[in-house]
Structure 1
Amino acid sequence: MSGTGGGYPSDLTDEQWALGEPLLSPARVGPKGGRREKHPRRRIVDAIFYVVRTGCAWRQLPKDFAPWPTVYWYFTWWHDDGTVERIHDALRGKVREVKGRNAEPSAHAGPRRRPIGPEISRPPASRTAANRSAPRRSRPAPGRARATRSRPLDFW
């Protein structure tokens, strides 16, 4: 468990942190340097794992983690720059090696696509080409009138 904080079951062990730390993006600093990070990266990663494991909302992070906007910012930054995918690929490779398999999967696991050709029949189009450009009009359900705002909403 990490040295600071509450010691949640989702926290990384020292061995796990040693594997993941080098894979994180470097700190964002300007050309002249910059201020050091206010919250340790390990606690940020622990907070992300807490959200993933418990399924809680970002705003419901316990107070012994960094503030939720900070944790969420790191998560989106690492997701957008590919860090999350790099970590996933590296850990997948290590797991495969431990199991005695090649680090890289041999089969392509990409999205499957159906072949389009004469052997596959397509469902008939519900709208003809002539009226495809005309906008559809929504109708209220039978027996129901359209909602109007003739009086103010007073449901409080």
Structure 2
Amino acid sequence: MGAGRPLEVDLRRVWDAILYINKTGCQWAYLPHDFPPRTTVNYHYIKWMTTGFFARVNAEVRRRVRKKTVETRNRVRGSSTVKASRAPQNLPKNPALTVIKRSRAESIIL
């Protein structure tokens, strides 16, 4: 990291506070006391907005979700192909079913 004073606040708690405000629509002044002070959260929020941090996080989350979706699709496609290839190829036809089909066809013709 850069030079300067060491952080006295847990950035994860700052992140959680920003998510809380975003989700609930809570005003900064009414941020619950189990989060860092609102001035600290606001400072980091503005800093992250100006540096493009949120855009980078959003892009990374989007990339991971798309990658996982593609992997899931490929796994599903692969498993159905494997199951189809394992099925016996030359099964004898069930004579009872063919008789039923013939009788239906015959009843339609007659």
TM range (shorter): 0.5 to 0.7
1:44 aligns with 2:14: yes
Return the TM-score normalized by structure 2. Answer: 0.60
1:75-104 Cα deviation digits (max 9, x unpaired): 111011011100000100101111118xxx
- Within a 5 Å distance, the mapping from 1:2-151 to structure 2 comes to 29=2, 33-100=3-70
User: Which amino acid letter does the alignment assign opposite residue 58 of structure 1?
Assistant: W
Select the structure of larger CA radius of gyration.
Answer: 2
User: Which amino acid letter does the alignment assign opposite residue 56 of structure 2?
Assistant: R
Structure that is richer in helix per residue = 2
Over the aligned positions, Cα root-mean-square deviation in angstroms equals 1.4
Q: What SS is found at the alignment partner of 1:50?
A: helix
Rounded Cα–Cα distance in structure 1 between residues aligned with 2:11 and 2:49: 15
Rounded Cα–Cα distance in structure 2 between residues aligned with 1:72 and 1:46: 12
Shift of 1:34: 2.2
Count of equivalent residues: 71
